[in-house]
Amino acid sequence: MEVTEKLDTKNRPDEWLIEQGMAGHKLPILDQSGEETVHRYPSDPAPITQDRAAIEAIGDRDELFARERAGWVGYVEWENYPDKKAKAHKILTSQTFPSSPDYQFGPIPGTNPVLSGDDFKAWHAAIGGELTRAADDSWRIVLQEKHPDMLHLLQFPYNGEPPKRLTTAQPITPNPLHFVRNHGGIPLIDKDQYELQLDGLVRNPKTYTLDELMDESRFPRMEKTVTMQCSGTRRIEQINLYSGQGDEVPQAPWAEGAIGTARYVGISMKKLIKDGGGLVDGAKHLELYGAETYIKDLHAMNYVVSVPWSKVKANEVMLAWEMNGEPLPKIHGYPLRVVVFGYIGARSVKWLYRIKAIPTPSLAPVQSREYLYWNQQIGKYNLRPIDGIQIQEMPVSSAIMTPWQNQVIIHNGSIKCKGWAYSGGGRWPERVELSADGGFNWYAVKEENLSKKGKWTWRTWETEIPCDAEGWIELVVRTWDNALNTEPIGIRQTWNWGLHVTSSAHRVKVYSVNKTREQTRKRLAQFEEMGIPLAPITKYEVVSGLSDEELHAYWKAHPRDVDD
């Protein structure tokens, strides 16, 4: 039948989806603060505008935003030049840009890269000069250095993680599979022209070449196996429960792969500070500068955070040039990066070009306005950066990498699982526990099924968990670290507007098909015999569980109704 008449309706075609909360980005906000309820609808995207005269008046962008140093492709210095910062800001505010699509309330794109980062690309192009090619260079390096099976969550700035099957395949993550979290482009630095500046409140400010840093007669070598974890790891679970917003838009919808473990070689930052004559005048923190451009709130800046001197003094902050026996890959900070043991990845600055001793934690936006852990009463319409805890050490957390969400598992009474467990701050997983009943009964993973303990590393694990049930169950993992910290059971308890630190017990719902049950075994055999595919489980198949004769005989023997 052909439908010719137009439906006479006020509904949108997707009214049902909208009613059911599957298109939250289209829902009006109900404003009940006045006498009458007002529906506040999302506005259509504003037309793109550009004040060309204002932009041209700023001057020659190639000159203004030129490469800071020979041999440092993609490096524009911002922190030393407030005037230059103001000019870039003026350019970015003299026009408007397409806003990044909402993927939290709306559907998440089924593409790889998942998100493109069009806003970041447009800002870089608008500033121009040395940043003109940043997005293209970045993607080229991704294709050169990363494994072809990486899941690209955000094309630019590049954010990517390995697929689950490869994340925990080995306790040490091969370099091409180590996750990457960038805030901007990838500077391409010639190691012979590399220099590290040490200044601020140190007795003897100095600069060092790479050869000087590698000179073992001056700085003893340091080698360490370290797990790096982004505070956004497993954010997707928070998004799936309640939409929120990260620090900046678009945020990568990280899953369980934003964690990786590598053997780093370099020197202790403490030795460098000592070489500079030590700290003076109440210096207590080291501000760390990364060479790429980060654009936040239409301000251009370098990537700047800080670590406390107490952490450096404990020899827990390293300047590394080697990762798993190779020179640091470009995408991971070549030629020199910071590795802060047991802190969130954000403090481990890549493409490090400056260390500045300062009295307080850095006021730079990445340190003081991002990577904040907010209380649940804090959200878009009331947040202030001082309401969040600056995230440093990660709490204990773990993840199930096999099986996956919604997977159907045919088994003989126990389910095989694999995953990782990690704790920050120099604590380590002592016991990993799994539950197959949503978190009521817990079974410990045997010590021999956990990878080796390390003060600064995760432990990968595999186990079999007893399961008697047929049907949907929830597999849950939680870990106890050596300080007996463990994970909250539900996501709701740790959910936060910034979508950081998803440390609740990881839950994976799977459908258990238990072959130790006779009926299940028989029916599976019947499917096999008839050559009917078992997947997907939701597809209706005409496979009778009982013949008409058997059905009849049963009801004769067990009548449904009773008279007395």
Ligand X SMILES: Nc1nc2c(c(=O)[nH]1)N[C@H]1C(S)=C(S)[C@@H](COP(=O)(O)O)O[C@H]1N2
- Considering only 76, 127, 131, 180, the residue that binds ligand X (CB under 6 A) is 180
DSSP state of 532: -
Indicate which of Mo ion, ligand X, none lies near residue 318 (CB less than 5 to 8 Å, by partner kind): none
Burial class of residue 98, CB neighbours in 10 A (0-12, 13-18, 19+): exposed
User: Torsion angle, CA of 259/265/269/273, rounded to 10 degrees?
Assistant: -160
Q: Which part of the chain contacts ligand X (CB under 6 A), choosing from 175-183, 478-486, 489-497, 523-531? A: 175-183
Number of Cβ within 10 Å of residue 265's Cβ equals 19
Q: Is the distance from CB of 200 to CB of 356 less than 8 angstroms?
A: yes
Min separation Cβ 538 and ligand X, Å: 38
Cis-peptide into 335, omega within 30 deg: yes
Q: Please state, in angstroms and as integers, the Cα–Cα distance from residue 48 to each residue in 51, 88, 102, 128, 426, following that order.
A: 10, 18, 18, 18, 49
Euclidean distance between CA atoms 336 and 497, whole angstroms: 33
Q: By rule CB under 6 A, what string of x and - marks binding of each residue 349-378 to ligand X?
A: xxx---------------------------
Residue 185 touching ligand X (CB under 6 A):
no
Euclidean distance between CA atoms 196 and 200, whole angstroms: 13
Angle, CA of 215, 287 and 455, to the nearest 5°: 70
Q: Which part of the chain contacts ligand X (CB under 6 A), choosing from 39-47, 118-126, 181-189, 553-561? A: 181-189
Min separation Cβ 65 and Mo ion, Å: 26
Q: By rule CB under 6 A, what string of x and - marks binding of each residue 303-332 to ligand X?
A: x----------------------------x
Q: Which part of the chain contacts ligand X (CB under 6 A), choosing from 177-185, 372-380, 464-472, 487-495? A: 177-185
Task: Output 233 or 514, the one with its CB closest to ligand X.
Answer: 233
Task: Output 302 or 398, the one with its CB closest to ligand X.
Answer: 302
Task: Output 275 or 287, the one with its CB closest to Mo ion.
Answer: 287
Task: Output 350 or 506, the one with its CB closest to ligand X.
Answer: 350
Euclidean distance between CA atoms 466 and 472, whole angstroms: 15
Min separation Cβ 473 and Mo ion, Å: 33
Task: Output 182 or 496, the one with its CB closest to ligand X.
Answer: 182
Cβ-proximal residue to Mo ion, closest one: 230
Euclidean distance between CA atoms 2 and 112, whole angstroms: 38
Min separation Cβ 349 and ligand X, Å: 4
Q: Which part of the chain contacts ligand X (CB under 6 A), choosing from 198-206, 211-219, 308-316, 341-349? A: 341-349
Indicate which of Mo ion, ligand X, none lies near residue 292 (CB less than 5 to 8 Å, by partner kind): ligand X
Task: Output 97 or 179, the one with its CB closest to ligand X.
Answer: 179
**Nearest to residue 91, comparing CAs of 132, 61, 48?**
61
Task: Output 279 or 305, the one with its CB closest to ligand X.
Answer: 305
Structure tokens belonging to residue 114: 């998942």
Q: In the chain, helix, strand, coil percent, each to 5?
A: 25, 30, 50
Q: Considering all CA atoms of the chain, what is the largest pairwise distance in Å, rounded to the nearest integer?
A: 101
Euclidean distance between CA atoms 329 and 356, whole angstroms: 25
Min separation Cβ 490 and ligand X, Å: 25
Q: What are phi and psi of 220, to 5 degrees?
A: -65, 145
Min separation Cβ 99 and Mo ion, Å: 23
Q: By rule CB under 6 A, what string of x and - marks binding of each residue 281-300 to ligand X?
A: ---------x-x--------
Min separation Cβ 225 and ligand X, Å: 15
Indicate which of ligand X, Mo ion, none lies near residue 183 (CB less than 5 to 8 Å, by partner kind): ligand X
Structure tokens belonging to residue 47: 């037309």
Min separation Cβ 319 and ligand X, Å: 13
Structure tokens belonging to residue 270: 């403490």
**Nearest to residue 227, comparing CAs of 275, 164, 179, 162?**
179
Torsion sign, CA atoms 145, 148, 151, 155:
positive
Residue 256 touching ligand X (CB under 6 A):
no
Task: Output 181 or 350, the one with its CB closest to Mo ion.
Answer: 181
- Considering only 345, 388, 419, 424, the residue that binds ligand X (CB under 6 A) is 345
Number of Cβ within 10 Å of residue 32's Cβ equals 9
Q: Is the distance from CB of 156 to CB of 121 less than 8 angstroms?
A: yes
**Nearest to residue 416, comparing CAs of 380, 387, 459, 445?**
445
Task: Output 345 or 419, the one with its CB closest to Mo ion.
Answer: 345
Give the interface with Mo ion as residue ranges (CB under 5 A): 181, 230, 345-346
Q: What are phi and psi of 241, to 5 degrees?
A: -85, -55
Residue 458 touching ligand X (CB under 6 A):
no
Please name the residue ranges forming H helices in 168-248: 210-213, 235-241
Min separation Cβ 313 and ligand X, Å: 21
Task: Output 94 or 231, the one with its CB closest to ligand X.
Answer: 231
Min separation Cβ 305 and ligand X, Å: 8
Indicate which of Mo ion, ligand X, none lies near residue 351 (CB less than 5 to 8 Å, by partner kind): ligand X
Residue 266 touching ligand X (CB under 6 A):
no
User: DSSP letters of 222-235?
Assistant: EEEEEEEE-TTTTH
Q: Which part of the chain contacts ligand X (CB under 6 A), choosing from 75-83, 119-127, 176-184, 463-471? A: 176-184
Task: Output 189 or 228, the one with its CB closest to Mo ion.
Answer: 228
**Nearest to residue 267, comparing CAs of 322, 212, 320?**
320
Euclidean distance between CA atoms 229 and 268, whole angstroms: 20
Task: Output 290 or 365, the one with its CB closest to ligand X.
Answer: 290
Residue 183 touching ligand X (CB under 6 A):
yes
Residues numbered 472 to 501 that lie near ligand X (CB under 6 A) are: none
Q: How far is CA 390 from the centre of its chain?
A: 17
Contact residues toward ligand X (CB under 6 A) are 178-183, 228, 230, 290, 292, 303, 332, 345-346, 348-351
